[in-house]
Amino acid sequence: MEDNEIERYVDIKRVSRYTSLPVKTIYDWSSQGKFPCIKFGRRILFDIQDVDEAMANLKKPYLKLENTVNKIIGDLHGNAI
């Protein structure tokens, strides 16, 4: 495989390196359906496009977090925002 080619289907160790998530977390999430996978006997493969989509779905919107933090800080200081 050439350096500029991207693998579409990868094993769990590659997903772990790609996402910086522990292998155990990926196993847990795949069994919960958060990370779709393809199972061949004992071998599990992940479609890298599904991994990207799953990770994108885990993102929290910046403005929503900022508003929540401001509300908590405002409440701590007795100011309602």
Give the model's confidence band at 6: pLDDT under 50 very low, under 70 low, under 90 confident, else very high.
Answer: confident
Rounded to whole angstroms, the Cα distance separating 17 from 68 reads 32
Answer yes or no: is pLDDT of 61 > 80: no
Domain count, the chain: 1
Q: Is residue 44 part of a domain?
A: yes
Domain hosting residue 37, numbered range: 9-76
User: What does the pLDDT read at residue 34?
Assistant: 85
pTM: 0.65
Q: Is residue 81 part of a domain?
A: no
Q: Is residue 23 part of a domain?
A: yes
CB of 17 closer than 8 Å to CB of 55: no
More confident residue, 80 or 59: 59
More confident residue, 56 or 77: 56
Element (H, E) at 17: helix 12-19
